[in-house]
Amino acid sequence: MRDDKWIGSLLIGLFAYTVIMISLFEKEPIIANQINNSAIIGLLLTILIKMNGGNR
């Protein structure tokens, strides 16, 4: 589990970089908003799975 922290941080950084670059170069950041919403939903699901997995 501790080894997964750097992978998670790297993925969050890549998502943030992608969203920022797309929103800077796109006139209407529709794609950036979709990526951002998907990332938020994915992170929330990951947190819920980790919380429920730890209670067993």
DSSP per-residue string spanning 9-22: HHHHHHHHHHHHHH
Residues lower than pLDDT 70 in the chain: 1-4, 29, 54-56
Does the pTM surpass 0.85? The reply is no
pLDDT for residue 55: 59
CA 25 to centroid of chain Cα atoms: 20
Nearest Cα neighbor of 42 from 17, 11, 21, 19 is 11
Residue ranges covered by each domain of the chain: 4-54
DSSP class of residue 55? T
pLDDT for residue 4: 67
pLDDT for residue 56: 55
pLDDT for residue 2: 61
Reading the block at residue 42, the tokens are 């994915």
